[in-house]
A = this chain, B = another copy of it.
Amino acid sequence: MRFSSRMSGVRRSYIREILKVTQNPEVISFAGGLPSPDHFPAQAFAKAASEVLTDCGPQALQYSITEGHPPLREFISRRYKETWGLDIPMEQILITTGSQQGLDLMAKVMLDVGDEVLIERPGYLGAIQAFSLMGAQFLTADLVPGGVNLDQLAQRLRERPKIFYAVPSFQNPSGATYDADTRREVARLIEESDTILLEDNPYGELRFKGEDVPPIRAFMGSDKAALMGSFSKIASPGMRIGWIAAGPDLFHALVTAKQASDLHTSIFAQRVLHRFLETNDLDAHIAVIRKAYGERRDLMVEVIKREFPAEVRCTEPEGGMFLWGELPKGVSAEEVFAKAIERKVAFVPGLPFYVDGTDNAFRLNFSNSTPERIEEGITRLGACLKEVLARHASTASGCQCDAGAPLEI
């Protein structure tokens, strides 16, 4: 096979491969980035689907326009206005087949082979994949308390990357959130630069502690930003409906790329989702999810504090679906993973979230496990961590030249 050279740069999703290992129901998995199915509004969707097909069957099943179902785009535009006072007209909102497609389209319209993209460190794996597929080179700026390292950001922007990709609220994988001052400064730096901000916000509505903060875009006077969103975490990921909002030139290019990519997103799914949104109280639904996730997050933090060795530092996110852990330097999360699988507990080693081979971190998902499984799984994982760290301590104090498993990649 004579594959394109772009394929050699793309790693098959590590996470999706891990998910296969964890399909055994005995394994307690904190690996998947899955919302809790307990809160999917299946009956409300059933009612919406039936109404859509009865009221406007042929239009829900015929080809449709690339830009997306206009009333759904109006709903999104109105919500930006009501929530943040942001003016994003529906004419600038393109419905995508999940926000992953927003990443694919941005990569297509912006990147030539070798072009630079600035991402957070650690960064969202799906973005690394989509940008890699179009031949991107990566620059990184570290995530730090309060958001992104602004000195690093300013420095990297001077290298004129085409895109800065940011997930400023409850980021995947780290759970990190930019505070308002950081957002304001990021907005200023972007407006002074030659770089477009691609702001992704799949988790922003899932805050269970602290104060909501507006998108970075709200601090900008220009439309030098594309803003992505998704219904995956607040309604259903299986529908595959997200969006990307952009100024006229970029919007036009994105529509052209989408035509060539899948013509349009399932109009059946779009209409069913829109009917659901029209006939249900989305905010009340989100409040239920926030409460449930907040309780699971609190429990996971509590059990971690009790069961994990003190050398392992974990974040305490104020929203979203993920906790991030860091091991002492030289201890690989892959080693912990191997041990954990033996004890039937799983997570995602941090390696695929870095473009520089860093491997001493890991991601834990708390949204998709019951309290019982969180209690039991984190306890098991604590035992694994103690065992691995003890082995490292004895190795360090004993024979330093022990070959063992490779600890750095």
A4 touches B111 (CB 8 A): yes
Q: Check if A115 is an interface residue, CB within 8 A of chain B.
A: yes
A40 touches B62 (CB 8 A): yes
Interface residues of A in 84-116 (CB under 8 A from B): 96-98, 100-101, 103-104, 108-113, 115
Q: Check if A370 is an interface residue, CB within 8 A of chain B.
A: no
Rounded to whole angstroms, the CA-CA distance of A98 and B258 in the bound complex is: 12
Instruction: Answer whether A133 and B100 are a contact pair too, CB < 8 Å, given A61-B236, A108-B6, A266-B266.
Output: no
Of the 9-residue stretches A44-52, A74-82, A179-187, A203-211, which lies at the interface with chain B? Answer: A44-52
Rounded to whole angstroms, the CA-CA distance of A196 and B32 in the bound complex is: 36
Of the 9-residue stretches A8-16, A146-154, A299-307, A398-406, which lies at the interface with chain B? Answer: A8-16
Q: Check if A7 is an interface residue, CB within 8 A of chain B.
A: yes
The size bracket of the interface on A is 35 or more
Query: Distance (Å) between the CB of A102 and the closest chain B CB?
Result: 10
Instruction: Answer whether A104 and B2 are a contact pair too, CB < 8 Å, given A53-B45, A66-B16.
Output: no
B112 touches A261 (CB 8 A): no
Write out the residue numbers on chain B whose beta carbons fall within 8 Å of the beta carbon of A12. 252, 255-256, 259
Write out the residue numbers on chain B whose beta carbons fall within 8 Å of the beta carbon of A98. 262-263
- Tallying the copies of this chain within the complex gives 2
Query: Distance (Å) between the CB of A14 and the closest chain B CB?
Result: 11
Rounded to whole angstroms, the CA-CA distance of A239 and B97 in the bound complex is: 12
A112 touches B4 (CB 8 A): yes
B237 touches A62 (CB 8 A): yes
Rounded to whole angstroms, the CA-CA distance of A37 and B59 in the bound complex is: 8
Write out the residue numbers on chain B whose beta carbons fall within 8 Å of the beta carbon of A269. 266, 268-269
Write out the residue numbers on chain B whose beta carbons fall within 8 Å of the beta carbon of A32. 63
Which residue of chain B has the shortest Cβ distance to A13 in the bound complex? B259
B3 touches A237 (CB 8 A): no
B1 touches A249 (CB 8 A): yes
Contact residue among B65, B104, B261 (Cβ-Cβ distance under 8 Å from A130) = B261
B34 touches A62 (CB 8 A): yes
Interface residues of A in 228-264 (CB under 8 A from B): 232, 236-240, 249-250, 252-253, 255-257, 259-264
**Mask for A50-71, Cβ within 8 A of B = 1, else 0?**
1001100111111111100000
Rounded to whole angstroms, the CA-CA distance of A6 and B106 in the bound complex is: 12
Write out the residue numbers on chain B whose beta carbons fall within 8 Å of the beta carbon of A53. 42-43, 45-46, 49
B57 touches A43 (CB 8 A): yes
Contact residue among B66, B101, B162 (Cβ-Cβ distance under 8 Å from A261) = B101
Write out the residue numbers on chain B whose beta carbons fall within 8 Å of the beta carbon of A109. 3-4, 7
Instruction: Answer whether A63 and B257 are a contact pair too, CB < 8 Å, given A2-B194, A266-B97.
Output: no
Query: Distance (Å) between the CB of A260 and the closest chain B CB?
Result: 4
> In the complex, which of the residues A4, A101, A108 has the most CB atoms of chain B within 10 Å of its own CB atom?
A4
B40 touches A100 (CB 8 A): no
Rounded to whole angstroms, the CA-CA distance of A66 and B17 in the bound complex is: 11
Which residue of chain B has the shortest Cβ distance to A196 in the bound complex? B1
Q: Which 3 A-B pairs have the closest CB atoms?
A: A42-B57, A37-B58, A49-B49
Using A45-B53, A126-B263 as known contacts, list a sample of 4 further A-B pairs with CB atoms less than 8 Å apart, ordered by residue number in A: A3-B110, A4-B109, A40-B57, A46-B53
